[in-house]
Amino acid sequence: MTTAPEAAPKLSFADALAVYLKPRVLIVLLLGFSSGLPLALSGTTLLVWMREVGVDLGTIGLFALVGTPYTLKFLWAPVVDALNVPVLSRLLGRRRGWLMLSQIMLMAAILILAASNPKFSALYVVAGAALLVALASSTQDIVIDAFRVESLDVDEQAAGMAAYVAAYRVGMLISTAGALYVVSGFEVLGSGKDAAWSLGYAVMAAMVGIGMLATLFAKEPARSKAAAVENAVHAGESPIKRVFSAAVAAFSEFLSRDAAIAVLIFVILYKLCDAFAGTMTAPFVIDLGFTRTDYANIVKGLGLGATLIGGFAGGLVARALPLATALWIGAFLQIASNLVFVWQAYIGLNHWALAVSITVESFTGAIGTVIFVAYLSSLCRSPLHTATQYALLTALAAFGRTYLSATAGYLAEGIGWPLFFVVSAAVGLPSLLLLWWLQARGHFKALDVKPA
């Protein structure tokens, strides 16, 4: 007979704050920054660079396809679960060895993209370099997600998710607003626009070093050590057989659960409206007549503050409320934030209005992401399969951003910006229907065990 989970005891503000200062949570915070940094470098920031040199909106929209590794990363995630990295895993451990390797790959890929100027290089060269960044970044995400889920105790999960997502959003802000500031700064110092962009990307490559330091100071999760001992039983088998066995076990365990297919569809749909609008936000702002510095000033200032507040607010919501209720809140906030950009489209070139739009988008986006990460984390139960199952879930979540959003540029050109953001808000409605169905079926009850 299954007993109901006990209600979590109320914590004082000091106790709640102390959780964020635990070493494991601080390491997760730094890794969240490292995870959020590269996404915009092959996405939003690259699109601004391309738009400035005259690439058309249709082509810019198609560049969403370079995010393909984020949707397919579950295919090589079993390698991370089943195999060790020569030398690095022996020195650092199962998870940390893979972390360091992926970060080295990421730094090199960003430097390659820095040398691929869309003004002088063929677009397929730029796309190839962006694809390398996405490949290295998605591999890092596989390992960070597994490390985060395995390293945090139950009473640290809510704080860890909030810290991770807030830092993730800060990383994205650094690689958007921060990168634009750096590019403009190099121009002020006398560099030409083309050289300034390349130098700006080189600075972003150096920022990967923050994640490397976190990896060096982190401790290998105890759950990962236990899984490594179990994996050692199969050390005599061929690597291909070990990877294949890990993949089969991870996928079959997940697909054997009740309503598994519906859950996977829900994961695809939940962030779709946010991804659809987010793909074109930067070109939208540039088309309104704002300069890259205008955009960076607002995102760097108000956007950063709203992101931090939203991230920690999302952590409180995820901890205090039933999971289904929190998901409803996140879904409605995402739809509302898209409609704010409809208002911005009619207001036009108005800095105050853009400040409001970016603040709302950053705040609601951070809340929704923390809640969604809480849901995905609750679906991963075994340290033998954490990397593979979480990679599958996040790859599906990225499906909308990568494929379903690839036509966003053509749609914006065809119907105009106001109607585009109305459509992007409506894209969120199917996820609400599926959320209602899953809740009625009792899907969330088994996941709704709050920290003790």
For 312, other C-beta atoms within 10 Å of its C-beta total: 20
What tokens were used for 351?
A: 């800095």
Q: Is the pLDDT of residue 2 over 50?
A: no
Flag the least confident range among 108-112, 156-160, 206-210, 214-218.
156-160
Instruction: Give the model's pLDDT for residue 151.
Output: 84
Can you tell me the distance from the alpha carbon of 389 to that of 73, in angstroms, rounded to the nearest whole number? 10
Angle, in degrees to the nearest 10, between helices 179-188 and 193-217:
130
How far apart are the C-alpha atoms of 189 and 110, rounded to whole Å? 23
Mean pLDDT of 184-188: 90
Task: Please check whether residue 280 is in contact with residue 413, taking contact to mean a CB–CB distance below 8 angstroms.
Answer: no
The pLDDT of residue 127 is 85
Cβ-based neighbours of 174, under 8 Å, separated by 6 or more: 33, 37, 204, 207
pLDDT in tens, 345-358: 888 888 888 888 88
Q: What is the pLDDT of residue 216?
A: 94
pLDDT at 325 (0 to 100):
92
- The residue extents of the domains of the chain are 15-447
Between residues 405 and 139, the one the model is more confident about: 139
Cβ-in-10-Å burial (0-12, 13-18, 19+) of 21 comes to: exposed
pLDDT of residue 432: 94
Phi, psi dihedral angles at 152 (to 5 degrees): -90, 135
pLDDT at 438 over 70: yes
- Asked if residue 136 has pLDDT above 90, the reply is yes
Half-sphere exposure of 389 (CA within 13 A, CB side): 26
Place of tokens 């403009």: 184
Query: Where is 449: in which H helix or E strand?
Result: none
Residue with token string 């705040």: 363
Pairwise CA distance, residues 370 & 157, whole Å: 11
* Cα–Cα distance, 29 to 31 (Å, whole number): 5
Higher pLDDT, 328 or 20: 328
In degrees to the nearest 10, what's the CA dihedral of 103, 108, 114, 119? -120
The model's pLDDT over 44-93, given as tens digits with 9 standing for 90+, comes to: 888 888 888 777 777 777 777 888 888 888 888 888 888 888 899 889 98
Residue 304 has pLDDT above 60, yes or no: yes
Structure-token match 């996941």, residue found? 447
pLDDT of residue 294: 78
What is the overall mean pLDDT for the chain?
82
List, in sequence order, every beta strand (DSSP E) within 94-216: none
| Highest mean pLDDT: which range of 187-196, 216-225, 398-407 | 187-196
Computed over its alpha carbons, how large is the radius of gyration of the chain? 21
Instruction: Indicate the pLDDT class of residue 212, thresholds 50, 70 and 90.
Output: very high
Question: Between residues 22 and 91, which one has the greater pLDDT?
Answer: 91
- Counted residue by residue, the chain has a size of 452
Q: Which residues make Cβ contacts (< 8 Å) with residue 157, sequence separation at least 6?
A: 374, 377, 451
* pLDDT over threshold 60, residue 1: no
Q: Is the pLDDT of residue 409 over 90?
A: no
Q: Assign 4 a pLDDT band (cuts: 50, 70, 90).
A: very low
What the block records as the tokens of 2 is 């299954």
Q: Most distant CA pair in the chain: distance in Å?
A: 72
d(CA 254, CA 354): 43
φ, ψ of residue 186 in degrees (nearest 5)? -65, -35
Q: How far apart are CA 235 and CA 374, in angstroms?
A: 34
CA distances from 162 to 126, 205, 413 (A): 34, 25, 37
Least confident segment among 157-161, 231-235, 391-395, 445-449 = 231-235
The answer to whether 309 touches 378, Cβ cutoff 8 Å, is no
Which of 183-192, 203-212, 262-271, 373-382 shows the lowest per-residue confidence on average (mean pLDDT)? 373-382
**Superfamily of domain 15-447, CATH level 4:** MFS general substrate transporter like domains (1.20.1250.20)
The pLDDT of residue 32:
92
Locus of tokens 């409001």: 356
CB of 25 closer than 8 Å to CB of 159: yes
Instruction: Say if CB 401 and CB 279 are below 8 A apart.
Output: yes
- Return d(Cα 55, Cα 60) in angstroms, integer: 7
CA neighbor of 215 nearest in space, from 100, 322, 118: 100
CA distance 132 to 68: 11
pLDDT at 233: 54
What average pLDDT does range 431-436 have in this prediction?
94
Q: How confident is the model at residue 98 (pLDDT cuts 50, 70, 90)?
A: very high
pTM: 0.72
Average pLDDT over residues 297-317: 76
Residue type at 263?
V
- What local confidence, expressed as pLDDT, does residue 281 receive? 79
Residue 20's pLDDT is: 65
Least confident window among 146-155, 300-309, 335-344 = 300-309
CA distance 163 to 405: 28
Q: How far is CA 356 from CA 311, 350, 433, 436, in A?
A: 18, 10, 30, 31
